[in-house]
Chain A
Amino acid sequence: QKEVEQNSGPLSVPEGAIASLNCTYSDRGSQSFFWYRQYSGKSPELIMSIYSNGDKEDGRFTAQLNKASQYVSLLIRDSQPSDSATYLCAVNANTDKLIFGTGTRLQVFP
Chain B
Amino acid sequence: DTGVSQNPRHKITKRGQNVTFRCDPISEHNRLYWYRQTLGQGPEFLTYFQNEAQLEKSRLLSDRFSAERPKGSFSTLEIQRTEQGDSAMYLCASSLSLGADTQYFGPGTRLTVL
Seen from chain A, the residues whose Cβ lies within 8 Å of a Cβ on chain B are 4, 8, 31-32, 34, 36, 42-46, 49, 51, 88, 90, 92, 94-103
Contacts and interface: CB of A to CB of B under 8 A. Distances in A.
Contacts of B56: 95-97
B104 A100 contact: no
A76 to B, nearest CB: 19
A100 to B, nearest CB: 3
Interface of B: 31, 33, 35, 40-45, 48, 55-56, 89, 91, 93, 98-100, 102-108
A95 B56 CA distance: 9
A36 to B, nearest CB: 8
A94 B102 contact: no
Contacts of A92: 99-100
A46 B102 contact: yes
Contacts of A42: 107-108
Contacts of B102: 34, 46, 49
A8 B39 CA distance: 12
A45 B100 contact: no
Given A43-B91, A103-B42, A98 B108 contact: no
13 contacts: A8-B40, A31-B100, A42-B108, A44-B91, A44-B105, A46-B102, A46-B104, A88-B43, A92-B99, A94-B99, A96-B55, A98-B35, A98-B43
